[in-house]
Structure 1
Amino acid sequence: MFFKRRNKEKPAEAADASEAEKKGDVPSAESAGAPSQGQGIPADALRRGVDASALGFKTTADLEPDDGPFGQDRALADLDFGLKMRGRDFNIFVLGPPGAGKRTAILAYLSNAQRGTATPADWAYVQSFEDPHRLRALKFPAGRAPFLAERVAAAVRELRATLPAAFAAEDYRARHRAIEEDYRNAHDDALDALHAKAAEQNIAVLRTPLGFGMAPMHDGQVVKPEVFNQLPQVMRRDVESRVVTLQSELEAILTSAPAVDKERRRQLAALDVETARHPIEAALDDVSQDFADVPEATAFLADLERDLVANAQALLSSATQDACLGRYVVHVVVTHAKDAGAPVVYASDFTPESLIGCIAPADDTLTPATATHRILAGVLHMANGGMLVLDARGLIATPETRNALKRALKTGEIRLGPASQDTDPIPLDVKVILLGTHHDAERLEAADADFGRLFKVRACFEQAMPRSAVNDNRLARLIASIVKTHALKPFDAGGVARLIEDASRIAGHRDKVTLNIGRISDLAREADFWSKHAGRDVTTAEDVARAMSERTQRADRVRERTGAPSAAAPIPDNAAGKKSGHTIALSTIEASGVRSGQAHRVAARAHIGRGRVTDIVCTQAPDAIHGEIVRSYLAGTFARDIPLALAATLAVDPPLRGAAENGIALSKLLALLSALADQPLRQDMAVTGAVDPWGDVQPVDGINDQIEAFFDACQAHALSGTPGVLVPDANRAHLMLREDIVEAVRNGRFAVHAVKTVDEALTLITGCEAGVRGADGKFAAESVNGRIEAKLRAFADAQRTFERGADKSPGAREGRA
C-alpha cells in the first residue's frame, strides 16, 4: 500500500495562531463554541437534483429512443482499431463492470460496422473417395453450399430408382447373357474338340473328382490297367505317347480358362460401367452445369460420378445400398446469405465442441436418411470471416475450451473436435472479442499467459459519464429506449429526473451518471411495476422512489433471515452523551445485489506494551494493514524521539462480515486516541473513512449508504439534538443523499461533517481542539494531542524503568547472555 506523504510540520500561520491563542488574542474552541467544521456540509451540497421542467418534454413518449452507447468514445475507438488491425494476435478484450451494457453496445457497433462488408464463403464436408476415414473440406461462394447439398441428395434419390431400372432392362440382360454364353461356349467347344481327337486315337478323356484323366480304349471301352500292361511294349509306348500329347493339349485348355474368365468378367464390368454411366450422368449433368464456375465443386462432382459408377453394383444391393449412399452426403458446415456481409456471432455458454464443432451420430430429423453421421458446426465456423463475441468467463471456467480457442487462433485453422475420422482443417479468419471485467482479464492471463499475446487490444468501458444538460437528455432518450424495449408505460419528466438522480447515486458521484445500463433498466422496470400498482397511466418520481425503497426493504429482509444485525443495533442508549474509547463506525455490506450501510460499535483500550513491540489487535476482525497504519501514525505524530511502548486492543461489534472494512479505519484510530487521551467522544456522531500513516483521511465506497443507514438508526432511536456523521472531505463529490436526509440537515436535525485530517475529525467528535505543535515543537498540554503525547511518553518512561530493573536482575543478565 502506498500513500502520498503530507507535510505534518506546523505552518507559520498555524504557529502564529497558536501563540495568539495562548496570549488570548483569539478565542479558543471552547469559548468560540463549535469549530468552523462543526456547521457541517450545507444541505444543498448533499444532493444534486435534476430540474424536471428543464428536460424539455412531458413524457418519454415525446422522445426519440436512443439505446446508446453513451460515454464510450474511447472504448469504441480502441475497438475500431482492433477490428482494423490485421493479424491473428490483435484480438480484443472489452473490459467493464457487469451491467455496463458491453454486450448490447458491442453487438450494435459490430452490426453497424459489418454493413457493406464482403460475405464470407460457405463451407461443407464431403467423404474422401480415396480414404474412407477422411472428410474433405469444400469452399463455396456464399449461399451455394446448401444448393449443392440439395442437388446431390436429389441426384442420389433419383439414382435409387433409375439405376436398378437400367440394370433390369432387357438390353442389359441380353448383352450380359451374350457375354456369358460366348465365353462358356468357347470353353466347351475346346473340350469337345479334344474329346473327339482323343476318341479318334482310341484315348478316353475322363472327368473324375480329382480332375481330368486319360486312358486307352478298345472297341469303345476303357482298357483295364492289367490288360494294358500285357500289351507289347511297342504298343504301350505308342499309346503313352498319344496320351502325353493329348494331356498337353488338355492342360493348355484348362490353363487358359482363368484368363478367359477374366476377360469375361472384364467385359461384364465394362457393360456394368456403360450401363451405370448413363443414368448417373443424367442425374448429375444439371448439377455439374450449375456449379461449373466453382472449381472445388466441379472436382468433387467428377470424383462423385466416378465413385458412383465404380460402386454401382453395391448401390443395387439392399444390404449395402444405404451404407454406400452415405458416402455421398454433402454436410453443410456453414452458409451465409449472399449479401449478408461479415457475420457477427455472440456466445455466452460454450464447450470445446460448440466452439470448434464436432462429428456426431446421425439424427433422422436433421440429416438425410442415408447419412451415417452429421457435422455440428462450432461458433468459430459461424463467425469465420467476421467477428466472434465471447463471454470471457466461459474461457476461465473450462481450460479445454480455452485451449481449443488458443489453438485455432495460433494456427489460423478450425479443426473439428475429437472424432474417428480425419478431417481437413478450414482456414480461420475471425476477429475475437472477449467481454469481461478487469478481474476476468487478470484471471485469464494468470491461467494462460498466451491470452495476453493473443488479445493485444484492450477496450475499457467507462463506468460513468459527466452530468450535463446534453448527457441528461441522452439519458432521457435511453430511458425512452428501455420503455420501448420492455413495453413499459411512459415516464413523465419527474420520473426521468428521479432516474437520472438515482443514476448519479449508482455512479457514486454527484457530477456523474452511471453507464450501468442494466441497473437503470432494472430500476425503470421496477418503477413501472409500482406505477401499475398505483393505477397510474405514467410512471412518476414517486414510483421510482417506491422502487428504491422496496429494494432496500427486500435487502433488509434478506439480512434478517441470514442473522445479520440491523444498522440501529450499535447505537448506545446514552447516544446523546460522550464516552472515552468508544466510537460508532460505518461500513457497507451487500445483500441480494443491494448495497447498504452497517453501523458498528468500536471500543479501544491502551496500556504499556511489552518491550519495544507495539501490539495492536482487533479482536473480532484482525487486520494487519490497519495495525501498521495506526502504529505508523502514532509513531510519526507522537513518538518521534521515544519508543512507542504501546499495546492496544480494538473490538468491533457487530463483527465485520463481508463489509468494506476500510470504512472503519478512521473510527478505530479515533477510539484509540480517545482512550490514550482519556477524552470522551460524542456517541451520536458516527465515523467513516480510511486513513493513511500521515493522518490524511481517505475516501471510502458506499458513502451514501453508510450515512443513510446511520440516519435511519437515529430515527429508530428517536435521537434528539443534532446527530451526524464524519465523512472524508474527498467524499464530498460522492454525496447523493435521500431527500428526507437533506431536509433533516436543512432543518438542523442532522449533520454531515467533512474532514480532511485526523486532527479535524478529533476536534469535531470531541468538541475540543486537537492541538498543533507550537514554536517549541510541543503540543499544548491540555490539548487532546498533548494528552496523547504525554500518555505515550509516560508509557515509554515506564518501559525504560522496567527494563533498567530487569537489567539489574542477575537472572535477566544471564538469560540475555
Structure 2
Amino acid sequence: MTKQFLIPTKALRANCDPNLLGFDNTTEVDTSHVTIGQENAIKSLHFGADIHKKNYHIFAMSKQGLGERAIIENSLKKRKKEKGHCFDWCYINNYLNPQSPNYLKLPAGTANHFASAMEKLVKQLSNDISLQFTNRTIQAKLQDINYEADSKRRMVVAKINTTAEKKQITIRSQEDAFELMPFIHDKVLSEEEVNQLSHSQKLHLDRNIVILQKELTRQFDKIAEWADNQSKIMQTKSKKCAAKLLKSKLLAFRKKFSKNESIQRFLINTEKDMLANLHLFMTNESTQKSTGPTFAEEEVEPCIRYKVNVMVTQDSKQQPPIIFEPNPNYPNLVGRIEHISQLGALVTNFSLIRPGALHRANGGYLIIDMQTLLSHSYAWEGLKSALDAEKITIAPLEEALGFFSTTILTPKAIPLDIKVILLGDQHQYSELCNVDPEFKALFRVIIEFEDHIRRNTKHIKLYAKMIASFINDNQLLTFNKFAVATVIDYCSQLAGDAALLSLRLDSVWGLLQEAEHLAKQDNKKIVTAAHVKQALADQINRINSLKRKMNEEIERKFILIKTHGKAVAQINALTVLQYGDFEFGIPSRVSAMARRGDDKILDIEREVELGGAIHSKGVLILAGYLQWRYVIDRKFSLSASLVFEQSYGEVDGDSASMAELCALLSAISGIKLQQSIAVTGSINQHGECQVIGCVNEKIAGFFDVCKLQGFSGDQGVIIPKANAKQLMLNDEIITAVKAKKFHIYAVETIDAAMEILTGMIAGKRRQSGHFTPGSINDCIEKALIHFSTAGHRK
C-alpha cells in the first residue's frame, strides 16, 4: 500500500555527467571571465554607470556570499574607457592665506611628474641663490667693510684718547668694548685711589668721562651706520642678481608646462612669492654671521612652502578607478589633516593633508559595504553630505559634528565626480527607505543579485567554465572533469534544490581552494573528485560539534527519540537548527492530547512564548482542517494540546504542521503511529501538503539518528511531493535506500501520510455521508462524534 509513495533511488540526487562538460581538465578551458545568472544585475549596473546625472548612485542588493563585489568590479573593468572624467588632484600653498590651501586639478598621470619637477626646481634655486649670497666676491667686500669700520673705530679712539689724556682720562680696550679710566702721572687710578680724591676732583673727572663717553658713542654709531649702509648696498645688488636668476629659472620651468593653465597660474603666484621671500633660500651660515642686517627667518622652508602635495594620481591609460574601501570610517572616506609635534605643540600645514577613498575614486567608482559603513559614527552622514554637495570637504569629525576644533587649516573643497556603489541586503534597503529620506534621493539605481539559476545543460557548461576560469586566474592546481562535476553537484546542494545551481560563489571558491590544498598534501598535481568530497566532509566536521552533541544526547536517551515501534499521539517531526552558516536537521518529538472540550487547540509553545507567529498560524490551520473535514453536521467539541517535547528554544515555521496534525489525529482516534518514520511538511486547511525548506538537511538528520539506534528496515521519512524534485542526498543515504534500510516517501495529502504511518487505509466519504468503515478517517470522525455527545476523554 505504501510502495506507491516511495521515491525511486535515481530521483534522490542529481549527478552531473563529467562527459557533459566538454573537457578532461581545466587547462583545456578558455580562461576568459564568465559570469552567469546575473545578467539583469549587470544590465542595471551599466545603466547606473552610464547615466551621468546627479544622485544616480547605486545600491546593490544581494544575499551574503554571492561574490557581488567581484562581479561588479569585473563588469566595470570591461566597460569602454570613458574620457574626461579622471584627473590628478593636488593641494598647494595659498600664499595669501596659508590657512586655506588651494587645490590643483591636473590631467591624469601628470601630478607626480610635476611635483617631482617642482621639488627639483626648489632645490636648485635654494642652492643657486644661496651661492649667490655667499660667493667669494661678496664675502670679500663684506670683509673689507668690516676692516674699514674697525680702522675708523681705531682712529676715533686715538683722536678722543689724545683729548682725554689732557683731562687726566685714558681709554682702555676691553675685548669688543671700550672703558674710560682716570689717569694721573701716567698711572691709571684704582677705585681706592679714586675714592681718596677730593669731592671736587671726583666731580670734575665724572663730568669729563660722561662727555667723552657720549662723543665716543656718537662716533661709533656713525661708523655702524656707514657699515650698515654699505652692507645693504651689497645685499641689494645680490638680491637683484638672485631675482634675475630666479626669474630666468622659472621662465624656463614654465615653458615645460606651457599647455597647462592651472600650472601656469600656480607658477605665476609662486614666482611672486619667491621674489618676496628670497631670504628663505639663504642657507649658508656665514651669511647669517656677517656684519649688518640679516633677512628675517621664516618657519616654513622652501621645500615645504613650495611643495606640491599630490593627493591622487590616475593612470591616463587605464579605466576610471574602481576603489573598494574596507574600513569606511569618516576620515578614510573624506580624508584627514595630520599634525606633527613641534616644541611641545601640534602644528600642521597643507603638505600634511591626506586623501580619503572619495579622492582616490574621484572620476570613477567607490564600492562600500553598507553594514560596515553604518557601523562607523558619522561616516554615512559624511558620505551623503559629500555626494549631495558634489565636493569633498576635509574637516575633522569634531568640526563636522559642530564641536570645538583646533584645526587651523580649511582646505578648499575638491569637486566630486563619482559613482558610489553600496553593497547591502534587502533588509538594509527597506530600513534605509523607511528611516532616511535622503537615501532614496541619492541612490536611485537598485541592483538585485540572484542567488541561484536553473540547473540545465547550458548553465552547467557555463558554470564549469566559470569554475575553470577561477582556477586558472588564481593559479590553482588543475582540476579534472570529475572534480568539476562534483563541485557542480555541490552547487545544487548549496541551493538546496536538485533543479537549481547556487550562485553563492564565495562558498564555491572556498571549496576549490580547500580541495586544492588536500591535493597538495597528497603530492598530487591534479585535483580529483575525492579531494573535493573530502574537502566538503572536512568543512562539516569543523563546525559539526553542536550536531554531534545533540546526537550523543539522543543516543544516551537524554533527548527522547524513538526510531522503532509504534505509539499513540506521538511522532518524530523534522526540524532544522542553524549554527552560523551551518544548517543541520534533527528530529524532535511532537506529542498531542485530545478530549471533549470547547473547540480549542492549545499551542503550548505559543502559551509559553516559545512559538513564533508562523508556527502559531500553522496550529490554527489544523483547527480549520478538522472543522472542514469531520463532523460537518454537528457542533464541534474538542479540546486538544500540541507540544514539541524537550524544546527549550523558539519554535517557528509551519514545516512541522503535517507532523502535528498526524499526532493530533492519532490522539483523537487512538490509532498508533510508526515511530520509525519521521515527518516534515506544511499543511493547509484542505489537508494538502505544501513545500518546505531544508528538506535535504532534515532527511539527513533523521537518517543519522536511525544509524545511531540501528536500522530496522522500516525506517524513513515522509516529505511533501513538491520537495521530491529538490533532493540532493548524500551517497551514504542513497546506499541505505538501495539496500532498503531507509525509505523516503513523497505525499500530497495528509491521508497519504497517515496511511504510511498507520498501515491502514485513509478512507473516503461515501454517498451515505460516512467514511469507509474501519478506515482512519472513520475512526477519527467517530471519536469526534463521541466527544460531542459524551464526556469521554482520550
Question: CA 1:669/1:785 → structure 2, altered by over 3 Å: closer, same or farther?
Answer: same
SS in 2 for 1:601: strand
Alpha carbons of 1:792 and 1:130: their partners in 2 closer, same or farther (altered >3 Å)?
A: farther
Q: Tell me by how many angstroms 1:295 deviates.
A: 1.5
Residue number in structure 1 paired with 2:271:
305
Residue 457 of structure 2 corresponds to residue 469 of structure 1: yes
Deviation at 1:562, TM superposition (A): 9.0
Q: Aligned equivalents of 1:139 and 1:371: distance in 2?
A: 19
Q: CA deviation at 1:538?
A: 2.7
- Which amino acid counterpart does residue 273 of structure 2 have in structure 1? D
Q: Deviations over 1:366-425 (max 9, x none)?
A: xxx996741211111111111222222222222411111111111111111324311211
* Equivalent position amino acid for 1:434 in 2: L
Shift of 1:486: 4.5
Q: Secondary structure at the match of 2:323?
A: strand
Aligned equivalent of 1:637: 626
Return the alpha-carbon distance in structure 1 between the equivalents of residues 518 and 120 of structure 2. 60
1:744 correspondence with 2:731: no
**Residue 574 and residue 112 in structure 1: after superposition, are their counterparts in 2 closer, same or farther (change >3 A)?**
closer
- How far 1:444 moved relative to its partner? 4.1
Whether contact under 8 Å (1:166, 1:279) holds in the other structure is: no
Conserved? CA contact 2:455–2:499, under 8 Å: yes
SS of the aligned residue for 2:7 comes to coil
Unaligned runs of 5+ in 1: 1-33, 180-262, 801-817
CA distance, structure 2, for counterparts of residue 144 and residue 658 of structure 1: 63
The equivalent position to 1:323 in structure 2, one of 295, 300, 304, is 300
Corresponding residue for 2:586? 598
- Partners of 1:668 and 1:751 lie apart in 2 by 21
Partner of 1:69: 35
Q: Which runs of 5+ in 2 are unaligned?
A: 146-228, 286-295, 397-406
Match for residue 615 of structure 1?
602
Contact 1:362–1:372 at 8 Å: present in 2 too?
no
RMSD: 3.7
Shift of 1:289: 1.4
Q: Does 1:725 align with 2:702?
A: no
Asked if the contact 1:114/1:342 (under 8 Å) is kept, the reply is no
Secondary structure in 1 aligned to 2:352?
Answer: strand
Amino acid across the alignment from 2:692: V
Report the AA paired with residue 569 of structure 2. G
Contact 1:568 1:716 in 2 (8 A): no
Whether 2:666 is the aligned partner of 1:671: answer: no
CA contact (8 A) 1:589 1:595 kept: yes
Equivalent residue for 2:164? none
Structure 2 residue 658 is matched with structure 1 residue 680: no
Residue pairs, 1:339-358, within 5 angstroms: 339-358=317-336
| Alignment match, 1:139 | 105
- Pair 266,37 (structure 1): closer, same or farther in 2 beyond 3 Å: farther
Distance 1:784 1:363, change over 3 A: farther
Structure 1 position 383 matched with structure 2 position 361: yes
Deviation track 1:522-556 (CA, whole Å, cap 9, x = no partner) reads 22233334444555443322332222233333332
CA distance in 1, matches of 2:349, 2:109: 22
Distance in 2 between the 1:138 and 1:486 partners?
40
2: CA distance, partners of 1:754 / 1:131: 81
**3-state SS of paired residue (1:423):** coil
Cα distance, 1:754 vs. partner?
1.4
Instruction: Indicate which of 513, 522, 527 corresponds to 1:539.
Output: 527
1:703 aligns with 2:703: no
Q: For residue 661 of structure 1, report the CA deviation from its aligned partner.
A: 4.6
Shift of 1:162: 3.0
Pairs within 5 Å for 1:250-265:
none
Going from structure 1 to structure 2, the CA distance change for 1:719 and 1:568 (only over 3 Å counts) comes to: farther
1:776 CA displacement: 5.5
CA displacement 1:658-696 (0-9 Å, x = unmatched): 887543232223212221222211101111122344433
Q: Distance in 2 between matches of 1:443 and 1:565?
A: 41
Q: Pick from 64, 68, 85: which aligns with 1:98?
A: 64
Residues of 1 paired with 2:425 and 2:375: CA distance? Answer: 15
Residue 99 of structure 1 aligns with an amino acid whose one-letter code is: G
The separation in 2 between residues aligned to 1:268 and 1:561, in whole angstroms, is: 95
**Which amino acid in the other structure matches residue 743 of structure 2?**
A
Structure 1 window deviating more from structure 2 (137-146 vs 769-778): it is 769-778
Task: Indicate the residue corresponding to 1:281 in structure 2.
Answer: 247
- Return 446-455 or 133-142, whichever deviates more: 446-455
Aligned length: 679
Helix, strand or coil at the partner of 1:433: strand
Letter in 1 for 2:644: V
Change (3 A) 1:525 1:657: farther
Question: What is residue 401 of structure 1 aligned with on the other side?
Answer: 379
Kept in 2: contact 1:393–1:436 (CA 8 A): yes
1:522 to 498, 506, 510: 510
Structure 2: which amino acid aligns with 1:354?
Answer: N
Decide whether aligned partners of structure 1 residues 553 and 658 sit closer, same or farther in structure 2, where only a CA change above 3 A counts.
farther
Aligned residue in 2 for 1:45? 11
1:335 matched residue in structure 2: 313
Residues 91 and 309 of structure 2 are in contact (CA less than 8 Å); yes or no, is this contact kept in structure 1?
yes
Deviations 1:36-86 (A, max 9, x none): 644x11111111112223433322233233542122211111111111122
Cα deviation for residue 719 of structure 1 reads 2.3
Q: 1:158, 1:283 within 8 Å by CA — same for their partners in 2?
A: no
- Is the 2:658–2:750 contact (alpha carbons within 8 Å) kept by the matching residues of 1? yes
Structure 1 position 363, deviation (Å)? 11
Contact 1:579 1:682 in 2 (8 A): yes
Native 8 Å contact 1:66 1:480 kept in 2? no
Is residue 2:51 matched to residue 1:85?
Answer: yes
Q: Tell me the distance in 1 between the aligned counterparts of 2:49 and 2:579.
A: 40
Mean CA deviation greater in 459-468 or 561-570: 561-570
Higher mean C-alpha deviation, range 709-718 or range 770-779: 770-779
Following TM superposition, by how much is the alpha carbon of 1:595 offset from its aligned partner in structure 2, in angstroms?
2.3
- Shift of the 301–717 alpha-carbon distance from structure 1 to 2, 3 Å rule, reads same
* Superposed CA offset, 1:428-448 (max 9, x none): 111112223323433444553
1:73-110 Cα offsets, whole Å, 9 max, x none, are: 11111111111122232222222222212122211111
Matches within 5 A, 1:443-522: 443-446=431-434, 448-522=436-510
Deviation string 1:242-280 (CA, Å, 9 cap, x unpaired) is xxxxxxxxxxxxxxxxxxxxx999999986863542233
* Greater mean deviation of Cα atoms: 786-795 or 764-773: 786-795
How far 1:736 sits from its partner (Å)? 1.0
Quote the residue 2:757 is aligned against: 765
Distance 1:798 1:623, change over 3 A: farther
Contact conserved, 1:363 with 1:374, CA < 8 A, in 2? Answer: no
Post-superposition shift, 1:735?
0.6
Match of 2:412 in 1: 424
Deviation at 1:140, TM superposition (A): 1.0
Percent identity over paired residues: 28
Does the C-alpha gap of structure 1 residues 48 and 752 become closer, same or farther in structure 2, counting only changes over 3 Å? Answer: same
Provide the TM-score with structure 1 as the length reference: 0.75
SS in 2 for 1:725: strand
After superposition, the Cα gap between the structure-2 partners of 1:636 and 1:470, relative to the gap in structure 1 and judged at 3 Å, is closer
Query: In structure 2, do the counterparts of structure 1 residues 658 and 489 end up closer, same or farther at CA, with 3 Å as the change threshold?
Result: farther
How far apart are 1:790 and its partner, in Å? Answer: 4.5
Pairing partner for 2:647 from 649, 655, 659: 655
TM-score (norm 2): 0.77
Partner of 2:291: none
Q: Which residue of 2 aligns with 1:196?
A: none
Alignment partner, residue 625 of structure 1: 614
CA distance in 2 between partners of 1:484 and 1:565 (Å): 46
How far apart, CA to CA, are the structure 1 residues paired with 2:636 and 2:378?
56
State whether residues 329 and 377 of structure 2, in contact with CA within 8 Å, keep that contact through their aligned partners in structure 1.
Answer: no
User: Separation in 1 of the partners of 2:89 and 2:634?
Assistant: 81
User: Which stretch has the larger CA shift, 479-488 or 752-761?
Assistant: 479-488
Q: In the superposition, relative to structure 1, how do residues 491 and 501 fare at CA in structure 2: closer, same or farther (>3 Å)?
A: same
Moved more, 147-156 or 722-731: 147-156
Moved more, 170-179 or 694-703: 170-179
Query: Structure 1, residues 346-375: CA drift from partner, whole Å, max 9, x if none?
Result: 2222211111112112699xxxx9967412
Greater Cα shift, 614-623 or 168-177: 168-177
